[in-house]
Amino acid sequence: MPTEEVFTMPHNQRTNGYVRTSRPTFPMQREVRDAWFRFEDGEMVEFTAAVGEAVLAQFFEIDGARRLGEVSLVDAGSPIFQSGLLFYEILFDENAACHIAFGEAYPECVEGAAALSRDELAALGANFSDTHVDFMIGTATMNVTGLCADGREVPIMRAGRFAPAVLA
């Protein structure tokens, strides 16, 4: 199946701040809509939702579900985003918007991961869990800026679209 996403494995100890959902999602096959989450040192420590708050409370009881396993960028030019439709099927819906996933990480985002032990992956920040659920956060107004090791800031997305490469 073609995909519109560019995904990565975030470090499970380094997420701080707030994020708000932009589309509904369905953990445990139950709707969650208009949710926001607050993170401290990689852990989701506070949340609310207009619909499905009790579902989230149950979901976050799963071991590892309070930490991120994926951060994915999707350009607002995606045909699925442009359709405005909700397909109720994550393999389609995840191609509609930037998203985060709570739970299990995709260690294949780490070079040489296949040769690493679970402990070595954990030391690199991989999250382990019995779940992996995507929550859409992208909008047509979203800006994403990368911070380089040397302190430079590089625009990744502007107004929901991938920015031209700016490497000097």
86 within some domain? yes
Give the structural domain span for 36.
Answer: 5-140
158 within some domain? no
Encoded amino acid at 112, one letter: G
- According to the model, what pLDDT value does residue 90 have? 86
43 within some domain? yes
150 within some domain? no
Encoded amino acid at 81, one letter: F
Buried b (16+ CB within 10 A) or exposed e, 84-107: eeeeeebeebbbbbbbbbbbbbbb
- According to the model, what pLDDT value does residue 91 have? 85
63 within some domain? yes
154 within some domain? no
10 within some domain? yes
162 within some domain? no
- Tens of pLDDT along the chain (168 residues)? 567 899 999 999 999 999 999 999 999 999 999 999 999 999 999 999 999 999 999 999 999 999 999 999 999 999 999 998 999 888 889 999 999 999 999 999 999 999 999 999 999 999 999 999 999 999 999 999 998 999 999 999 999 999 987 444
Number of independent structural domains in the chain: 1
Instruction: Determine the Cα–Cα distance for residues 92 and 69; give it in Å rounded to an integer.
Output: 19
